[in-house]
Structure 1
Amino acid sequence: MSFWTFIFLIVIAGILYKAWRTRQLSEHGMYEDENGTPRQFGNRQREAELEREVEELRERIQVLERIATDNRGAKRLSDEIDKLRDE
């Protein structure tokens, strides 16, 4: 094996390692900065805050849906009572 073949194989091995490392980090929601230090994507605290807010909004929507459907039943009953009064 010549010297240049050996260098070529080392370069190919380095490229394959870098691709594997990048894939492993991305599967865990991480990336490497300019210095090669692994860092997390996004801000975990902000994500937790947004998840909490979404949960609160879902609860509000459920309450509003319940109010809307409950009022619809009351409105229907009120309409029926009005019809009976008119007759």
Structure 2
Amino acid sequence: MVIPFEAIAPVATLVGLAAVGGWVFTTWLRIKNGYPLENSWGKSVYPKQNEEMVERVKLVSSENAQLRAEISAIKDRLATVERIVTDSSYRLDREIDALRGPAN
């Protein structure tokens, strides 16, 4: 049994249109969400670096450095709190008395 071309043509056309529509939709989603467009070899199609992007990277990098410094300070504070909580009360009392200064 041979299927005539007239019966296959509409189905093939619909499949082709669906494939092109899907490609257009995924490309639109990539553009909308800021993903770089790539060619078939995986290289960026438009590797543009304008001044705004460079400035944004600088701002994010400086914010990252500030947050890392803040996390480091918080870790130090947490270590101090853990030491105080797990320390014996006798040693803590001696340190508090030492901070008060010599007895008059």
Q: Which has the higher helix share?
A: 1
Highest relative contact order (Cα 8 Å, sep 6+), 1 or 2? 1
Larger radius of gyration: 2
TM normalised by structure 2 equals 0.39
Q: Which has the higher strand share?
A: 1
TM normalised by structure 1 equals 0.46
